[in-house]
Amino acid sequence: MKKPHSSYPPLIETLLSKEEWMFFELKGIRKKPSELLESVIAFANSEWWYLILWIEDKKKAEWYDRLTGISPMPDNYAEFLRLVPQNIQPFLSIQPREVVFINPHTELEDKIIIVEVSKSNDIHSLTTGDTYIRTENGNKKIGSQEITRLKYEKWSISFEDQISKVDSLEDIDTELWTTYKRSINAKSQDDRQILKDNGLAIMDNWIRKLKFAWALLFLKNPSVQLWWKYGIKISHYYGNKPNFTGEPNFVRRPFSIEGPLLHQIESAIDYFRDIVRNAPPTLQWATFNSTILIPERAFQELITNAVIHRNYAIPNDIHIRIFDDHIEVESPWSYPGHITPANIQSERFARNPIILRTLNRFEQAPNLDIGEWVNRLFQIMKEHNLYDPYYIPPIKKPHSVEVILFNLQKIEYWDTVNKYLEDNTYITSWVAREITGINDRVDMSRLLKSRVNQWLLIQEWEKRYARYRKIAQNESLFSGPLIIEN
């Protein structure tokens, strides 16, 4: 028989209701501590995660009967904590938390363990050499090729620092190279020395070898000459979402921008500038203004960052999707190093420092290289009374970094709802109407659902009633919220 809900902490109820998936796994007491290390390795090499110890999965027991707790085999937890530093390399920091409850089998106080590991810059393996990653189907042992890819992703090795297949200066954009030399006051120096001094080439037994960073920055068309997708793909739509039935709602046929990285940035900004110039005006306070509210500076910051920090080891273009009410910019693969959507404003990590530095040294540099581009992007949007840039949680986009700029002025009543959700986990339509003064149920429902469509809210159901919550930036952990009190 089920215990009353009041007998257990709310967190217990949450854990029992969750489905196991890519970022969340339950382990029962019968699992040997050594067997748990595979999951620890797999999660540590993926995203920020939670491993819940001593709750059985749904196939083995029902509801509270799944709470085996630590009491049947109390030494297992201590053994697990001992094995983590001994059998995992390099050193892996875990943060175990104990949740106390009344064991339904013994009626005595017991504990389950929540093991949390933050995303790190290292690739972790067992001392046996086995390396695992986490997939939607569980843990997966990976071989040398996948380990190399993971090293590029975590920046254990740098793709831009590798030697390119092009070893001749004949196929470069000579005008761009001349501009760069002039920008660094090196126009009279020998090209080979300039390349070496600026980290764009190395000398190996007196043979100059050109790096991928150089190829991406100065070849006429890296995508063609290196046989890889290094460009920007732009899709421009009428309306607020793609039309997948009937005629496509493209403003123009999707097109690619290729060439040296600096030219890609400039061409993307030029297209955005043309959109603003040709956008139909709207009358506001007796003045006709563009319907494009996103400032060019914000678009430039976002595109420049995408080009500089994308993972060039992944054969895919950067995708820009332009809609009436927002712009999406999606870069190949996930956040570099230890960066997550939750810490992106406070932490710094340059995936491609050579590209970053070289672009910054041009006279008309698109980037400042002062480590504040994210904060500057947020500040620009705030100055124009626009919503903050939104970083899609890895739960939605596990293999890319996607940022949305909303072409929407902040609305006072939405700010009221947003403020309420900062202090409360959920809001209902009834509460939203009460705090905003919007009496019409349909209008409020439309407002809340529009924020769901924009991925600002998630709709859930409590019995027959809809409730809404904000999407947590670390929601790669679960298919729903998990609140752990310290």
Q: Averaged over 196-207, what is the pLDDT?
A: 82
- Whether residue 127 is predicted with pLDDT greater than 90 in this model: the reply is yes
Question: How does the average pLDDT of the chain come out, rounded?
Answer: 83
Annotate 87-107 with DSSP letters as a single string. HEES----EEEEEEEE-TTTS
Distance CA 347, CA 342 (A): 10
> Domain extents for the chain?
5-154, 159-224, 232-406, 412-470
- Express as a percent the part of the chain with pLDDT over 70: 89
- Whether residue 175 is predicted with pLDDT greater than 60 in this model: the reply is yes
Q: Averaged over 252-275, what is the pLDDT?
A: 95
* Helix ranges, 313-411 (H): 353-360, 373-383
**pLDDT value of residue 253:** 93
Which residue, among 390, 408, 406, has the nearest Cα to 472 in the 3D structure? Answer: 390
Which residue, among 233, 221, 222, 231, has the nearest Cα to 329 in the 3D structure? Answer: 233
Distance CA 464, CA 472 (A): 24
Among the four given CATH numbers 3.20.20, 3.30.70, 1.10.3430, 3.30.950, the one describing domain 5-154? 3.30.950
The fold adopted by the segment(s) 232-406 is Heat Shock Protein 90 (3.30.565)
Q: Which of 54-63, 252-261, 470-479 has the lowest mean pLDDT?
A: 470-479
Q: How confident is the model at residue 368 (pLDDT cuts 50, 70, 90)?
A: low
Asked whether 134 and 43 are in contact (CB, 8 A), the reply is yes
Distance CA 75, CA 438 (A): 58
- Whether residue 287 is predicted with pLDDT greater than 70 in this model: the reply is no
Asked whether 339 and 153 are in contact (CB, 8 A), the reply is no
Asked whether 32 and 43 are in contact (CB, 8 A), the reply is no
Question: Across-strand partners of 191?
Answer: none
**pLDDT value of residue 286:** 45
Among the four given CATH numbers 1.25.40.10, 3.40.50.300, 3.30.70.270, 1.10.10.10, the one describing domain 412-470? 1.10.10.10
Q: What is the pLDDT of residues 214-239, one digit of tens each?
A: 999 999 999 988 888 899 999 999 99
